Amino acid sequence: MKTMLYEEQTGSLMLLDLTLFTANTTADTTGTTGNDLSAEMKTYYHDQLIDNAEPNLVHDQFGSKYPIPAGHGKTIEFRKYSPLAKALTAITEGVKPTGKKLNVSTVLATIQQYGDYVELTDLLEVTAIDRNIDEATILLGSQSGRTLDTITREVLNGGTNVMYAPSVASNGTETAVLLRSSITTLCLLTPKVIRAAITALKRFNTSPFGDGFFAGIVHPDVSSDIMGSTEWSEWNKYVNPDQMYAGEVGKIYKARIAETTEAKIIGPGWIFGDADSDGVCRMTLYTELDGTGSTNIFPAETITTAQAAELTAKIAAV
């Protein structure tokens, strides 16, 4: 191949044969070696580690903490006096009425210990490119927080009082849902359901928190059902940042709502047991701890094996 080059200083043209600069002729290239520069193409190492996405841990702030002093054992006892019935019978002058007797019940709670560790060798610490001890400490701290949050969540969800959102058809027809097996995608959390739940709490004389509000914990998939309501208020419209709950996203009616992906989810993989001898499948809510630190199961709802399989398929399809 030949080309013309222009010489700026002399202003003349020069004919240049570029083939004179080839290292080998066509016949020689089949026997060449080398020309492997792949070892020069390195992967650039950046010392910035990618952070893990962490959930909001909200459950622990709603549980009461009662420390046990050192040297006082592992079990704590709470006592409760039963209320006295109303004295609606008028007293007769000079006649001593029949008195009442006190009744005291106890609730026990036993502490449990949880922990984990990461195995690292001294050789790894000397030779590894990353600070593995520092990173292991961060990961263990995250694990600890999520573990304790889950333990608290299981205790908070250990009650037997349950309310289910009704099934609302496209024409507005509501059907009451009395069993978890009857829940479908038509059962949505709405302001009406929240008002009913707050009313039920008031009916049982349940005391709200000090600010006069009850607390609700929802999954992000659930909170989207109520955030579009005209009754919904964003947290910054009614509370200062230093007074808000961890994970709080807003309020509706008399409930302040905290949002977390760690909210309790009942899944098909563990709410259904095998069919019992009577031919039914027991659907139960498993909790990690009861008052004595043991695993507990409640409430028990009876559904048929066919119903269990149908519900499992519906949940898996979501």
Separation CA 46–CA 50 (nearest Å): 10
Give first-to-last CA distance, the chain, whole Å.
67
Q: Are 251 and 235 in contact (CB under 8 A)?
A: yes
Separation CA 186–CA 165 (nearest Å): 9
Question: Considering the chain, what is the average pLDDT of its residues?
Answer: 79
pLDDT digits (tens, 9 = 90+) for 174-216: 998 887 778 888 888 889 999 999 999 999 899 999 889 999 9
pLDDT score of 63: 84
pLDDT score of 38: 83
pLDDT digits (tens, 9 = 90+) for 7-40: 555 656 666 665 655 555 555 555 556 678 888 8
C-alpha count within 13 angstroms, C-beta hemisphere, residue 159: 6
Q: What pTM, to 2 d.p., does this model score?
A: 0.68
State mean pLDDT over 97-114.
91
Residue 248: strand pairing partners: 258
Instruction: Assess whether pLDDT exceeds 70 at residue 110.
Output: yes
pLDDT score of 172: 86
Helix (H) or strand (E) holding 141: helix 132-156
Task: Tell me what percent of the residues of the chain surpass a pLDDT of 70.
Answer: 73
pLDDT digits (tens, 9 = 90+) for 136-170: 999 999 999 999 999 998 888 877 788 888 999 98
pLDDT score of 272: 40
Separation CA 232–CA 181 (nearest Å): 29
Separation CA 78–CA 163 (nearest Å): 28
pLDDT digits (tens, 9 = 90+) for 47-92: 788 888 889 999 999 888 899 999 999 999 999 999 999 999 999 9
Separation CA 283–CA 315 (nearest Å): 14
